[in-house]
A and B are shown apart, each in its own frame.
Chain A
Amino acid sequence: MIMAKGSRSERWVLRLLVLGLIVALWEGVCRTGLASEFWVSRPFLIVARLWDTVRSGTVWFHMGVTVIETVSGFVLGALAGIIAGFALARWRRAHVALEPYLMGVYSLPRVALAPLFIMWFGIGIPSKIMLAISIVFFILLINTYVGVQNVDRDLVNSVKTMGATPRFITRRVVLPSCIPWIFSGLRISMALALTASVVGEMLAAQYGLGFLLARASGTFDTTGIFMVLIILALLAIGTYNLMARLEKRLLHWQGETASI
């Protein structure tokens, strides 16, 4: 049986109810002294702080830095990864020669490269972009490669019997059939690019949301930490929905895709 999804307004009422419940519980636990404000902060304090930073404009600056790092790392890493994936699928020799090394780097927890990148590229934006690239690149490389390998041979053969050139087959069969694979890579990569930027900023930076997080933690400013976490969550949801919308547009022939 299929559950009715309910109307749009009904869904939002339910969701706001959950939010209200959490906020009330959190606020209540602090007010009654069950938990210390010092460790867990309090919703009203967080919202007040958020309001202050939004009004003073500092949050936009730090958010901007993080967004620039994330988006640059995502775009550059994805482009390079997709191109490398196609190249690897095209030249079997290259794949045979490089596979163990690629898998080696792919299996390495890439944030462990952060200290090296900070040494090489400094504590500014470039080191964070590099870190994001190092993660995004491999995901797209592997997804694109697997996508090409999984092209339906029967589709290729049927177009081949029409007398199509390899170029035509690549453009009209191989590329479109890789798009779902590339997209699933992009969706994961977006979140990981944000993670890379924030981790990089926490390690060494002068700006960015990760930097704010590290500074708040260093001064035992729980409210500050929660404020940044909320901004990060909103940012992540925003980018995820953006990707889901883009995917729906480009993959409309596939039917429905999940979105938050």
Chain B
Amino acid sequence: MPQKVSVSGLSIAFGATRALERVSLTVNDGEFVSIVGPSGCGKSTMLNVIAGLLAPAEGNTHVAGIDGQGAGSRIGYMFQKDTLLPWATALENVCLPMDVKGSRDWHKARALMQLVDLTGFEAHYPNQLSGGMRKRVQLARLLAQDPDVLLMDEPFGALDAQTRLIIQEEFLKIWERQRKTVLFVTHDLQEAIALSDRVVLISARPGRIKATYQVDLPRPRHIESVLAHPRFMALFQEIWASLKQEVLAARERPA
């Protein structure tokens, strides 16, 4: 299978703090990979480097066959924080990536709004929408960009538990239809297992890849049935045992 994202020997430091150390990782075309690890292990930093927002101290990245920092619009990035433009309507926000490319397609934007179940909210401004709706607009915007690779940094982290389950379910459904390559950072191990093909565990700082787990649950998946699957529970216990050590190790270290 062709590699879509490859990271080799990546090291990053902020002053004297080593955030990541010699991390190498490849993501295949159409693969959904989650990265879990304790807070401050450099998960988000890694995404920023892959997206070209940060330059690495060492190592290099390839995205969709493009070297290093030039992958630009091939990448769709979804942040935990709301990054909708507050002065633009939901529909205008969805159009934004198309505006960047210089070809606005209202028809496509409306279709995406329908895909995320927000028909009727096109003219609403972000402050008139709930947290879950804003997240869905961001999802539509991400899809409007039609990138080769989706980088997602705790995209559902700020939602309340119920809304999160619903959005995860919707996202899973859309993803299983489109099968884009995804690199997904999360704190939530359940989320990581339920959505991914592979879970990568990063150690406490300096972040190294500690282990990789293949998630061999059948697709298409449904969140509720996945959470009750015996294989899911076995994986959860196995990964959590290892992750817990890192979380405890990270706690003992000064920030």
A interface with B by C-beta (< 8 Å): 152, 154-155, 157-164, 168, 172-173, 176-177, 179, 251-255
State whether the Cβ of B127 lies closer than 8 Å to any Cβ in chain A.
Answer: yes
- Is A253 a contact of B79 with CB atoms below 8 Å? no
Q: How far is the CA of A172 from the CA of B151 in the complex (A)?
A: 23
Complex interface bits, B88-130 against A, C-beta within 8 A gives 1, otherwise 0: 1000000011011100000000000000000000000111000
Q: How far is the CA of A176 from the CA of B96 in the complex (A)?
A: 14
A-B contact pairs, 20 of them (CB 8 A): A152-B83, A154-B79, A155-B85, A157-B79, A161-B51, A161-B53, A161-B75, A161-B76, A162-B97, A162-B100, A163-B72, A172-B85, A172-B96, A172-B99, A176-B85, A177-B87, A179-B87, A253-B125, A253-B126, A253-B127
State whether the Cβ of B145 lies closer than 8 Å to any Cβ in chain A.
Answer: yes
Please indicate the chain B residues that have their CB under 8 angstroms from the CB of A176 in the complex.
85, 87
B interface with A by C-beta (< 8 Å): 51-53, 72-73, 75-77, 79, 81, 83, 85-88, 96-97, 99-101, 125-127, 145, 151
Closest chain-A Cβ to B57's Cβ sits at a distance in Å of 20
Q: How far is the CA of A161 from the CA of B100 in the complex (A)?
A: 10
Please indicate the chain A residues that have their CB under 8 angstroms from the CB of B73 in the complex.
162-163
* CB-based closest 8 A-B pairs: A163-B73, A158-B83, A161-B77, A163-B72, A253-B125, A176-B87, A162-B97, A162-B100
Q: How far is the CA of A172 from the CA of B102 in the complex (A)?
A: 13
Please indicate the chain B residues that have their CB under 8 angstroms from the CB of A157 in the complex.
53, 77, 79, 83
The number of inter-chain residue pairs (CB within 8 angstroms) is 56
- Is B79 a contact of A255 with CB atoms below 8 Å? no
Chain B binding site: helix, strand, loop or mixed by DSSP?
Answer: mixed
Please indicate the chain B residues that have their CB under 8 angstroms from the CB of A255 in the complex.
127
Please indicate the chain A residues that have their CB under 8 angstroms from the CB of B53 in the complex.
157, 160-161
Closest chain-B Cβ to A104's Cβ sits at a distance in Å of 35
Please indicate the chain B residues that have their CB under 8 angstroms from the CB of A253 in the complex.
86-88, 125-127
- Is B77 a contact of A158 with CB atoms below 8 Å? yes
Q: How far is the CA of A260 from the CA of B79 in the complex (A)?
A: 40
Say yes or no: A163-B85 contact (C-beta < 8 A), given A154-B79, A158-B77, A158-B79.
no
* Other A-B pairs, 11, CB within 8 Å; known A158-B77, A168-B100: A154-B79, A158-B83, A159-B100, A161-B151, A162-B96, A162-B97, A162-B145, A163-B100, A163-B101, A173-B85, A255-B127
Q: How far is the CA of A173 from the CA of B100 in the complex (A)?
A: 12
Among residues of A, the one whose C-beta sits closest to the C-beta of B97 is A162
Q: Which of A176, A177, A251, A253 has the most CB of B within 10 A?
A: A253
Q: Which of B87, B96, B126 has the most CB of A within 10 A?
A: B87
Q: How far is the CA of A251 from the CA of B87 in the complex (A)?
A: 8
Closest chain-B Cβ to A163's Cβ sits at a distance in Å of 3
Please indicate the chain B residues that have their CB under 8 angstroms from the CB of A158 in the complex.
77, 79, 83
Please indicate the chain B residues that have their CB under 8 angstroms from the CB of A173 in the complex.
85
Please indicate the chain A residues that have their CB under 8 angstroms from the CB of B79 in the complex.
154, 157-158
Closest chain-A Cβ to B211's Cβ sits at a distance in Å of 29
Among residues of A, the one whose C-beta sits closest to the C-beta of B151 is A161
Q: Which of A164, A168, A179, A254 has the most CB of B within 10 A?
A: A164
Among residues of A, the one whose C-beta sits closest to the C-beta of B82 is A154
Closest chain-A Cβ to B48's Cβ sits at a distance in Å of 8
- Is A154 a contact of B99 with CB atoms below 8 Å? no
Say yes or no: A254-B100 contact (C-beta < 8 A), given A161-B75, A162-B73.
no
Say yes or no: A164-B127 contact (C-beta < 8 A), given A157-B53, A158-B83, A253-B87.
no
Partner of A159, one of B51, B75, B96, B127: B96
Q: How far is the CA of A176 from the CA of B126 in the complex (A)?
A: 15
Q: Which of A157, A176, A179 has the most CB of B within 10 A?
A: A157
Closest chain-A Cβ to B51's Cβ sits at a distance in Å of 5
